[in-house]
Each structure stands twice: as structure tokens, then as C-alpha cells.
Amino acid sequence: MRRTLIKNIGCLQTPTGSYSHKGSKQGANEKYMDACVAIEDSKISEITEDGKVPDGDFDEVIDAGGNLVTPGLVDGHTHLVFGGYRQHEIAMKLAGAGYLDILRAGGGILDTVRKTRDASEEELYEKSRAFLDEMLSFGVTSCEAKSGYGLDPENEIKMLNVIGQLDQKHVMDVAATFMGAHAIPPEYEGKGDEYIEMMCNELMPQVREQGLAEFCDIFCEDSVFNAAQSRRYLEKARELGFSLKIHADEIEAIGGSQLAGELGAVSAEHLIAIEEDGMDAMAEGGTTAMLLPATSFYLDKTYAPARTMIEKGIPVAIASDFNPGSCPSLNLQFAINLGSLKYRMTPEEVLTAVTINPACAIGRGDLAGTVEPGKQADLVIWDAPDFEMVCYRFGSNLAKHVIKKGVLVK
Ligand code: IZC
Ligand code: ZN
């Protein structure tokens, strides 16, 4: 057994438990001052505080230099596997085109679909592997990744294979979400219902049988998939044993958040335009709000009503939404800054929103999201004395060292 000690931790701040935190619990963090963390192989074995050092010999000692240590961050919503980029959309945006205008004109997601279909599995793997390296350098140690730029059986499976390979070969834990219903591909233009039926009858069962994804997601949005199509798709997914996710109320509130609550979806994502009844349904259904503030920033939209959600007892998570269209940034620290500034969440609430809550929403709550004996040793040593500093400084990378499964990876 390999033993590692992290010593000289000024403040170890972490939520506790393996469940999603809501209401007043959203901001309940434990803070251990002058602490040490002992690691045995890939797991945390002991936490000490007030200058006490765990007994025994260690193979490796990491000096935290009196800094803040937190759990490794968890990015619960990404579209990190994609061909090409969409920087040419800047000109359209400057000319006044909105996100859905670009999609309706055959660009946006559909532009990325063309480039993803053209890319080989190896090309997609190499590109996304580099993204995971960059995410790790920002302190992210687990993430979710969605398919949804293939939109046909061959290319959706190609994307899911890439995600599976990343999870296996890269040190990052990557949870796979099947998102065949991300847009209507050109072959099915004007035939959204038929496309949903093909997904439900052909591709979704195949993905399930081959064990390629744990979660199933749909883009419930004006000009994309309506609430009835989303219900059909998610009910079928639930029947097949997927956990449910839904892109809801990003631009227009068309019933996605109500559906999420009613079907007991594990998370509803975006929620910029959510209304009162959608929040009530989510609170009732125990659905986590996966909020994506860097997307509000990049689309120049308003920000989801995080404070009201916390008051209503909805667990709040904050993710990057890294994708080539509405959020071409994988820097979860920037989402932390916006969570603090725009959602007006406290540093403790924000920490919960980027650790245990998304860990639970991607099915990794037992392994990740807190620093506690028995959990995977995924930790960040920050170039900061407290988490307030991480909420406050923006544009720099404050993750000084990153430890993944007990190994120093930065
Ligand atoms: O590529 O535009 N919102 N899906 C829903 C996205 C953004 C990703 C994209
Ligand atoms: Zn998304």
C-alpha cells in the first residue's frame, strides 16, 4: 500500500456526505484549520486538524504551504467531444443573430454535427483528451460528457465510444450521457416526431444494451424539441433504465422543468428562463438544478434564479457547459466567479455546487465531491487562503496542485 500525506493545509473546506445538498444545507461546509489529509493508495484514510499529524510513515509528503484545500471540482455538464469550432459565428452574433437564429439557419449545433461526422474516432479522442488535461489543470477531477453531435446511430455511437475511452484511459472520471435528441439532423428536417421515434425504437435501446451511457438527455427548447417530444423520449429512456437529464428553459420556458420534476429527472440544466411552477415541480421531484452561468455570460442572457431555487429546496449545481457554441470555455473557475457574483451564492454554497451536488447528479456521489475518509483522494491545493479568494479572483488559474486518485497530477 502506498501512503501519501498532504500536510500544512491552512484550511480544508469541504461539504460532507454522499447526497445532494439543498436549502440551508447547500451552504453547510466543514472547515478544518491547520489540517492534514492522509491517503492510502487512491483513497482518503484520515483527516487531522489543529496541527495534529497522522501517525505512521509516508511514501510521499505534499506540503500545501498553508493554503486552502478542497475536494476536486466536478463539472456536471459538458459537450467536450466535438469536431471543429464555431468562431465564425462571432460575425453573425455581432450582426444581431441569436443562438436559435443561427441554429434555425442550419448552423450552430448542426455546423458542429457536420464537423463531428467528418472526424474519426481517433481525432475526436485526441482532441477531447487534451481538453481533459486542461480541465484537470483548472482543478476539475470528474466530469460528465454528452454525445449529441452525431445525430445518427453510427456517429452517436462513435461519440459515446470516445467518451468511454476517455473514462478508461484518462485519469479523469468521465460519466457518459446519451444526447441523441440534441437537434433535428438535416435528414429529418421538418420530421421531429419521426426522429424521436427512431431514437426511441432504434438507437436508445442499442446504447443501453451496449452499456455506452448512464444518462439520457434532450434539448427541450423552442424550435428544437417540444415538451410532448421530450416526454416521449424521456419516458422511453426511463423505461430502459437510464437516469434522466434535460436541457430545460435555456432560452424559452416551454415545459422542460415541469417535466423534469414530474419524471424525477436527476437534473434539469440551464434554467435561465425558468418560472415559479417549474421550480416547484423540481423541488417536488428532487431534481438538481444544473446551472451554467458562463453560458448566460456568453449568450448575453440573464442568470438563472439560483437564490429562489435554494430557498425552494432545490439542490443547486454549477457547471461549465463547455461546448463550441454557447460556451467555448472549460474554465470552471470562471463559473465559480459568476456563481458568486451573478447568482449571489455564498462561497460555501458555491463550493457545494461544484463538488458534491454535481457528483451526485452524475452518479459519483459515493466516490467524489467531498474530502472524507473512504472517498477517492481527489483534491485541489489552491493558491489561495480561503474559498472566498477563489470566488473573487477571476481570469487567473488559482489551482496550484491537483491530486487525482491519490496521485499528484499538477
Ligand atoms: O453546440 O450549441 N445549448 N446545446 C444546447 C448547446 C448549447 C451546445 C451547442
Ligand atoms: Zn448543454
CA-247 nearest atom, ligand 1: 5
What span, in angstroms and rounded, lies between the C-alpha atoms of 275 and 296? 17
148 C-beta closer than 6 A to ligand 1: no
CA-221 nearest atom, ligand 1: 5
pLDDT of residue 135: 98
pLDDT in tens, the chain (410 residues): 999 999 999 999 999 999 999 999 999 999 999 999 999 999 999 999 999 999 999 999 999 999 999 999 999 999 999 999 999 999 999 999 999 999 999 999 999 999 999 999 999 999 999 999 999 999 999 999 999 999 999 999 999 999 999 999 999 999 999 999 999 999 999 999 999 999 999 999 999 999 999 999 999 999 999 999 999 999 999 999 999 999 999 999 999 999 999 999 999 999 999 999 999 999 999 999 999 999 999 999 999 999 999 999 999 999 999 999 999 999 999 999 999 999 999 999 999 999 999 999 999 999 999 999 999 999 999 999 999 999 999 999 999 999 999 999 99
Q: Which of 326, 327, 329 to mutate to test the pocket of ligand 1 (most atoms within 8 A of CB)?
A: 326
pLDDT of residue 279: 98
pLDDT of residue 246: 98
- Give the distance (Å) from ligand 1 centre to CA of residue 7: 42
What span, in angstroms and rounded, lies between the C-alpha atoms of 49 and 47? 7
pLDDT of residue 5: 98
- Give the distance (Å) from ligand 2 centre to CA of residue 154: 21
108 C-beta closer than 6 A to ligand 1: yes
Within its chain, how far is the Cα of 239 from the centroid?
A: 24
- Give the distance (Å) from ligand 1 centre to CA of residue 366: 29
Q: Which ligand is nearest to the CA of 295?
A: 1
Which of 70, 33, 69 has the alpha carbon at shortest distance from 50? Answer: 33
Residue that is written with C-alpha cell 426511463 in the block: 238
CA-103 nearest atom, ligand 1: 2
Q: Which of 80, 101, 182 to mutate to test the pocket of ligand 1 (most atoms within 8 A of CB)?
A: 182
Within its chain, how far is the Cα of 298 from the centroid?
A: 17
Amino acid at 55: D
109 C-beta closer than 6 A to ligand 1: yes
- Give the distance (Å) from ligand 1 centre to CA of residue 79: 8
Neighbours of 239 (CB within 10 A): 12
pLDDT of residue 10: 98
Q: Which ligand is nearest to the CA of 268?
A: 2
pLDDT of residue 109: 97
Closest Cα to atom 3, ligand 1: which residue?
Answer: 326
- Give the distance (Å) from ligand 1 centre to CA of residue 254: 17
Amino acid at 361: A
- Give the distance (Å) from ligand 2 centre to CA of residue 116: 16
pLDDT of residue 48: 98
Three-class DSSP labels, the chain: CCEEEEEEEEEEEECCCCCCCCHHHHHCCEEEEEEEEEEECCEEEEEECCCCCCCCCCCEEEECCCCEEEECEEECCECCCCCCCCCCHHHHHHCCCCHHHHHHCCCCHHHHHHHHHHCCHHHHHHHHHHHHHHHHHCCEEEEEEECCCCCCHHHHHHHHHHHHHHHHHCCCEEEEEEEEECCCCHHHCCCHHHHHHHHHHHHHHHHHHCCCCCEEEEEECCCCECHHHHHHHHHHHHHHCCEEEEEECCCCCCCHHHHHHHHCCCEEEECCCCCHHHHHHHHHHCCEEEECHHHHHHHCCCCCCHHHHHHCCCCEEECCCEECCCECCCCHHHHHHHHHHCCCCCHHHHHHHCCHHHHHHCCCCCCCCCCCCCCECCEEEECCCCHHHHHHCCCCCCEEEEEECCEECC
177 C-beta closer than 6 A to ligand 1: no
Contacts of 290 (CB under 8 A, 6+ apart): 76, 77, 245, 267, 268, 269, 270, 271, 317, 318, 319, 358, 361
